[in-house]
């Protein structure tokens, strides 16, 4: 028996209250509603996967034709449209533009406070504190001129930077000279190439803020101050003072799966996919996307839609062979003597059997034992 | 330093509950399925660790759904 979902019940309740419908009528209406709802539920044996696949891919073909570019818009440029959709369904390790939306605590709802938090989050590398870098080949040392005024903004001074350098480097001596930091390798006669390497390594060194957050934009969204970032690191950002950790969002599906679990990842897949389609002005029923997201997370790990994911882990050999890498699957199956149970749609189409979809899904069976019993008892009665 | 945030407090993490053996039996009987036909969740999933579920447990997940308001989903905890 199918129960009415909560959203419909709530809606019905609201209408009952508005129209002041008496109690005995309400029950009757709910009964009718239930019957009407049942008509809309997919019947057992319906090929919902194929329906979903077509309902998503048809609008996706429109997307490529309608792609456009915005020049010089404020904020952070994101991957949109088909490339982003492919990224989601292929479950790529890292999105091309990892992004976070960070909400702030109540006490931080002013522009100044929001900026303060933003400064705490943005990753600062040594490169940004250095105004001038010179490789002194004569003394084989690296001279870094520090912008002390800028450093103060991030609660840093020269000593702190030197401490940081010492912690993160090996086999170098670090000296301080006026507003410069001198770094020289302990090893004698270092080649120019090694010096160059050392320089870029030091300049890229993490100094302050959260690793991976390249850019932070403070924005007003509704009646709240919100931070948008380029680069993503949920775990660290959630713990930052002033950040409302429970609402921190990211578009990196794998990161969410790792830090918040597979169910949260499913949520993000649905949200990102429907957002991408919506931005392009395409209407895809969210149920199709939900089905895809469920399929992608059914094993407990994120699986891509494709050769190495969902399609590659199908039970039937012939179904896998029909999709991609035919020879690989057929040879592997024949070497190992695999069986095909012909439970799916594709393999049955291939051999021309009845496809287990809709009415083809059911067989007539008869419980022989019970029938015999009944017959026996009947014959006894007649006697 | 700010106090540590629980993963389960995050808005996008739905409620996970461990089912009792009776509830599992009821679930499998209603849908006429075997336990291996349930979707899975890895043993090392952060939420599984947080609520202290073990391999073989079935989790009831109460999702808020865009279409139905609230839906229930079930996952079997498995070794990776």
Residue extents of the structural domains in chain B = 7-78
A245 to chain B, minimum CA–CA distance in Å? 7
The parent domain of residue A149 ranges over: 124-208
A71 to chain B, minimum CA–CA distance in Å? 33
Q: What is the pLDDT of residues A7-64, one digit of tens each?
A: 888 888 999 899 888 888 888 888 999 999 988 888 888 899 999 999 999 988 887 6
Query: Are the beta carbons of A297 and A265 closer than 8 angstroms?
Result: yes
Pick the CATH number of B7-78 from 3.90.940.20, 1.10.10.10, 3.40.50.720, 3.20.20.80: 3.90.940.20
Q: Give which of B12, B45, B14 is closest to A268, Cα–Cα.
A: B12
Has residue A35 been placed in a domain?
yes
Look at residue A167 and tell me whether its pLDDT is greater than 80.
no
Across A16-20, A52-56, A206-210, A332-336, least confident range? A206-210
Domain finish residue from A178, A208, A238: A208
Check if B34 contacts A (Cβ < 8 Å): no
Which residue in chain A is spatially nearest to B31 when comparing CA positions?
A1
pLDDT of residue A266: 94
Has residue A68 been placed in a domain?
no
Check if A263 contacts B (Cβ < 8 Å): yes
Please report which confidence band the pLDDT of residue A76 belongs to, taking 50, 70 and 90 as the band edges: low
Nearest to A263 among B2, B5, B13 (CB): B13
A300 and B78 within 8 Å at the Cβ level: the answer is yes
Check if A297 contacts B (Cβ < 8 Å): yes
Domain finish residue from A173, A208, A243: A208
Domain finish residue from A208, A243, A275: A208
Q: What's the number of domains chain A is made of?
A: 3
Please report which confidence band the pLDDT of residue A378 belongs to, taking 50, 70 and 90 as the band edges: low
Has residue A128 been placed in a domain?
yes
Q: How far apart are CA A190 and CA B47, in angstroms?
A: 51
**Cβ neighbours around A18 below 10 Å, total:** 8
pLDDT of residue A375: 62
Q: Which three-class secondary structure state does DSSP give residue A174?
A: strand
Has residue A216 been placed in a domain?
no
In angstroms, the first-to-last Cα distance of chain B is 35
Model-level ipTM above the cut of 0.85:
yes
Q: Which site among B2, B10, B55 would you substitute to test the A interface, given the most A Cβ atoms closer than 10 Å to its Cβ?
A: B10
Q: What is the mean pLDDT of residues A307-313?
A: 85
Q: How far apart are CA A259 and CA A236, in angstroms?
A: 10
Residue A363: give its domain's CATH number. 1.10.150.390
Look at residue A70 and tell me whether its pLDDT is greater than 60.
no
B47 and A6 within 8 Å at the Cβ level: the answer is no
Please report which confidence band the pLDDT of residue B1 belongs to, taking 50, 70 and 90 as the band edges: very low
Instruction: List beta partners, residue A176.
Output: A181
Query: Are the beta carbons of A354 and A342 closer than 8 angstroms?
Result: no
Classify residue A379 by burial, with Cβ atoms within 10 Å: 0-12, 13-18, 19+: exposed
Residue A193: give its domain's CATH number. 3.30.1360
Q: What is the pLDDT of residues B9-44, one digit of tens each?
A: 888 999 999 999 999 999 999 989 999 999 999 999
Has residue A353 been placed in a domain?
yes
DSSP string, A20-76: T--HHHHHHHHHHHHHHHHHHSPPTT--HHHHHHHHHHHHHHHHHHT-----S-SS-
Chain B residues whose CB is inside 8 A of the A264 CB are 10, 12-14, 47
Look at residue A164 and tell me whether its pLDDT is greater than 70.
yes
Q: Which three-class secondary structure state does DSSP give residue A102?
A: strand
Look at residue A119 and tell me whether its pLDDT is greater than 80.
yes
Q: What is the pLDDT of residues B48-79, one digit of tens each?
A: 998 999 999 999 999 988 888 889 999 999 98
Residues 6+ away with beta carbon under 8 Å from A367: none
Check if B14 contacts A (Cβ < 8 Å): yes
Classify residue A145 by burial, with Cβ atoms within 10 Å: 0-12, 13-18, 19+: middle
Look at residue A216 and tell me whether its pLDDT is greater than 90.
no
Q: What is the mean pLDDT of residues A221-238?
A: 87
């Amino acid at each position: 028996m199918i129960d009415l979902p909560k959203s419909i019940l709530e809606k019905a309740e609201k209408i009952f209250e508005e129209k002041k419908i008496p109690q005995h009528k309400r029950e009757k209406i709910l009964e009718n509603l239930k019957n009407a709802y049942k008509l809309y539920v997919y019947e057992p044996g319906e090929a919902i996967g194929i329906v979903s696949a077509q309902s998503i891919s048809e609008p996706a073909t429109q997307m490529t034709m309608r792609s456009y570019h915005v020049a010089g818009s404020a904020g952070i440029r994101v991957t949109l449209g088909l490339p982003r959709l492919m990224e989601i369904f292929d479950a790529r390790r890292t999105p091309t533009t990892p992004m976070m939306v960070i909400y702030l605590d109540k006490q931080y709802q002013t522009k100044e406070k929001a900026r303060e938090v933003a400064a705490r989050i943005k990753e600062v590398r040594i490169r940004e504190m250095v105004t001038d870098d010179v490789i002194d080949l004569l003394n084989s040392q690296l001279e870094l001129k520090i912008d002390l005024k800028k450093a103060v903004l991030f609660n840093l001074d020269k000593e702190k930077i030197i401490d940081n350098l010492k912690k993160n480097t090996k086999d170098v001596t670090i000296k301080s000279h006026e507003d410069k930091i001198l770094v020289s390798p302990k090893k004698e006669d270092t080649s120019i190439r090694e010096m160059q390497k050392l320089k870029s390594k030091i300049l890229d060194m993490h100094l302050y803020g959260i690793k991976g957050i390249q850019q932070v934009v403070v924005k007003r969204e509704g009646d709240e101050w919100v931070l948008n970032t380029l680069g993503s690191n949920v775990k660290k950002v959630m713990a930052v003072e002033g950040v409302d950790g429970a609402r921190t969002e990211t578009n990196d599906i794998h990161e969410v799966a790792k830090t918040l679990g597979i169910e949260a990842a499913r949520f993000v897949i649905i949200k990102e996919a429907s957002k991408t389609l919506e931005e392009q002005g395409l209407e895809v029923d969210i149920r199709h996307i939900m089905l895809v997201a469920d399929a992608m997370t059914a094993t407990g790990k994120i699986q891509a839609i494709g050769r190495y994911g969902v399609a590659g882990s199908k039970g039937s050999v012939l179904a896998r062979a029909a999709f991609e890498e035919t020879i690989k699957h057929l040879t592997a199956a024949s070497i190992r003597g695999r069986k095909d149970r012909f439970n799916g749609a594709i393999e049955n189409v291939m051999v021309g059997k009845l496809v287990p979809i809709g009415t083809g899904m059911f067989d007539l069976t008869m419980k022989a034992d019970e029938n015999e019993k009944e017959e026996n008892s009947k014959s006894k009665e007649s006697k | 330093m700010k106090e540590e945030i629980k993963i389960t407090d995050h808005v996008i993490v739905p409620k996970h509950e461990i089912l009792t053996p009776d509830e599992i039996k009821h679930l499998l009987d209603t849908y006429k399925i075997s336990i291996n036909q349930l979707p899975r969740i890895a043993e090392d999933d952060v939420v599984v660790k947080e609520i202290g579920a073990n391999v073989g447990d079935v989790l009831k997940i109460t999702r808020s759904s865009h279409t139905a308001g609230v839906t229930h989903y079930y996952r079997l905890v498995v070794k990776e």
